[in-house]
Amino acid sequence: MLLVVGLGNPGTGYARNRHNVGFMAVDEIVRRHSFGPYRARFHGDVAEGQLAGEKVLVLKPQTYMNESGRAIQAAMTFYKIAPEDVFVLHDELDLAGGKVRVKRGGGHAGHNGLRSIHAHVGADYARVRIGIGHPGDKDRVIGHVLKDFSKDEEQWVGRLLGSIADHVALLLSGNDARFQNDIALDMAPPKSNKADKSAKAEGNEE
């Protein structure tokens, strides 16, 4: 079994916060891939389904962000899931909005959710870093992450969540580079076809 975890804070007041983009991403995975309904287990909400030929458990810890590791450890212990079969989706200040990077191992970079996971299960899990951008001043970070996405941001957030859900099987199969690349292609601005425009202009001149 594979464990896919979205990080966030419970409650409707936090639902659209930038800090909750991990929750949003796994909700879209559950929806698009017809997982079963969420149930309360392991200090969180869990849903089960199939992806990449594997049984997958999606978990949204309900412990608040800074205790996320407790829920993950409980699920891993019950199902005997190895750290390398755990995939954590979370917000990332150091990436521009709409960018996604996969990282395996390494430090937690001060992220409270990751800090808790490191403390409970170690660092040998995969994390999907979902860019939310940096406010530019460290004193504004808390206000930035705990505020809802703006109306302008919501335009790309929906596309990004859909792209992550569409390509998640690549991630679970270990194809990190293809997963990242396909999302980047989905999020790239449409290219203006200058050749077509030139051809049309020439046609009009005839």
Instruction: List the catalytic residues.
Output: 19
**Could you give the CA distance from residue 46 to residue 60 in angstroms, rounded to a whole number?**
6
Tokens read off for 141: 């970070």
Euclidean distance between CA atoms 34 and 171, whole angstroms = 18
> Which tokens is 118 given?
């490191």
What residues form DSSP beta bridges with 45? 40, 60
- Is residue 88 a contact partner of residue 124, using CB atoms and an 8 Å limit? no
Contact 81, 75 (CB under 8 A): yes
| Residue 195 to residues 13, 191, 199, Cα–Cα distance (Å) | 49, 11, 6
Counting every residue, how long is the chain? 206
Q: CA 187 to CA 206: how far, in whole Å?
A: 38
Q: Of 59, 12, 14, which Cα lies nearest the Cα of 35?
A: 59
